[in-house]
Amino acid sequence: MTENTPTPITIARGDGIGPEIMDATLEVLQASGANLAYEEIQIGESVYKRGIMNGMEPSAWESLRRTKVFLKAPITTPQGGGYKSLNVTIRGALGLFANIRPCVSYHPFVSTKHPKMDVVIVRENEEDLYAGIEYRQTQEVTQAVKLISRPGSEKIIRYAFEYARANHRNKVTAFVKDNIMKISDGLFHRVFDEIAAEYPDIEHETMIIDIGAARLADTPEHFDVIVTLNLYGDIISDIAAQITGSVGLAGSSNIGDQCAMFEAIHGSAPTIAGKGIANPSGLILASVMMLVHIGQAQAAEKIHNAWLKMVEDGIHTVDIFKRGVSKARVGTRDFAQNLIDRLGERPTTLTPASYQVGEKASFAGIALKELPPVRKVQVGVDVFVDHKGGNGDDMAARIQPLVGQGLKLAMISNRGQKVWPEGAPETFCTDHWRLRLLADGKDTVAPAEVVSLLGRFAESGLDVVQTASLYTFDGAAGYSVAAGQ
């Protein structure tokens, strides 16, 4: 490739307001002198309707693997019916582990209660409840599995600190809920503390997500970079973008070791689709992030500064238009044209954007720590059964005659609340029981003992819906205790 060879990128116009904001973005990119060659793919509703359950044709995947850069407009995910979210599928399949969402206030030009806000949310993008592993196990009870891994946590947390260092940011805050999820969120918290210690130049703190989200909504100027798990990050970044003035303002990047995807953080806004009034800023700012990622810093800077100038000039779409603050209310196309007219200009009050050629925009290829070997020992098994009626004592009376032979019944819980021994009579019980069986008079449980126990359960007519092995790791329990235990 010569210096003048256009960089191939894959684009998708998406659904709802997607085509309108993509057209506006492409016009701006074209006028900015960005050197790009587009491969367009079809994604979203039309593809789902053809029966492709993940919303994307095989040929589209080939384009993404070829270009490794994807500028994507929002799509509409059909609800229910077995359809998988295309966004989740793309992020997982292409290993786009880091979702970067800058949320900035443009005071006094865009009306906001938070004039000093400049927060970057670094959201883990591949794990958590978004693994989409869900079950209906009984008539009454459903389950979603939350997966948090050590490598996943290490990658996103290190990414957040590297991002902070490269972008001259001073503090990284982790949001977790490890007062409740001590093992999964607890792992994220521990890894955060470990990695933070390697960045003494950057301040760090941890907050429980509920109070963290409240403080973010109330005092966003307290925060600089926030790193968090997938679901929390999804929720707080919409809050953060909205309180800057509009969810339509924020762009985001999804970065992996090999590929990257750039998109607005908002969805397809079906209620305003086709009206020509959508704010294209989210996708335009995502395209700025994309230009920095592919090394076209000059075009990125030009577009970003023209965009800031336009915000200053009060040329606003309806979502940020405010009488007395804004000067003109424009539709999507006029917004793009006004931006193009300002290419080459810089803001006079807001801080101009500045990007360097070769600037490190993403930190893929993060090395993972070598973990020492660990001694993993099975010490028991949790057996979940479907049974309607009765209380913990009734269930224990039914189970006790079936145990023995190396395992003893240690506890029964219902929806995580201990109901035996010494359950509270007030506890409401569903048809989903957890029986905790531990090694009896010895340190470990053999798989054959568990199989034999399950055989006895089945013969007695118990409906076993799930089992979970209980392990210790170097002697520490790898399972939670029940509430009330």
Instruction: Give the residues lining the site for ligand NAD (CB under 6 A).
Output: 17, 74-77, 87, 247-248, 263, 266-272, 278-279, 282, 319
Query: What is the closest distance, in whole angstroms, from the C-beta atom of residue 455 to ligand NAD in the complex?
Result: 45
Query: What is the closest distance, in whole angstroms, from the C-beta atom of residue 217 to ligand NAD in the complex?
Result: 17
Identity of the residue, 315 or 383, whose beta carbon is nearer to ligand NAD in the bound complex:
315
Query: What is the closest distance, in whole angstroms, from the C-beta atom of residue 99 to ligand NAD in the complex?
Result: 10
Q: Nearest CA to 392 among 370, 410, 366, 377?
A: 410
Query: What is the closest distance, in whole angstroms, from the C-beta atom of residue 432 to ligand NAD in the complex?
Result: 30
Identity of the residue, 102 or 282, whose beta carbon is nearer to ligand NAD in the bound complex:
282
State how far the Cα of 220 lies from the Cα of 212, in Å rounded to an integer: 10
Identity of the residue, 138 or 230, whose beta carbon is nearer to ligand NAD in the bound complex:
230
Identity of the residue, 216 or 247, whose beta carbon is nearer to ligand NAD in the bound complex:
247
Identity of the residue, 247 or 289, whose beta carbon is nearer to ligand NAD in the bound complex:
247
Which residue's CB atom is positioned nearest to ligand NAD? 267
Decide: 188 and 148 in contact? Cβ < 8 Å: yes
Query: What is the closest distance, in whole angstroms, from the C-beta atom of residue 366 to ligand NAD in the complex?
Result: 24
Query: What is the closest distance, in whole angstroms, from the C-beta atom of residue 339 to ligand NAD in the complex?
Result: 15
Query: What is the closest distance, in whole angstroms, from the C-beta atom of residue 238 to ligand NAD in the complex?
Result: 8
Identity of the residue, 76 or 138, whose beta carbon is nearer to ligand NAD in the bound complex:
76
Q: Nearest CA to 94 among 239, 258, 270?
A: 258
Identity of the residue, 315 or 396, whose beta carbon is nearer to ligand NAD in the bound complex:
315
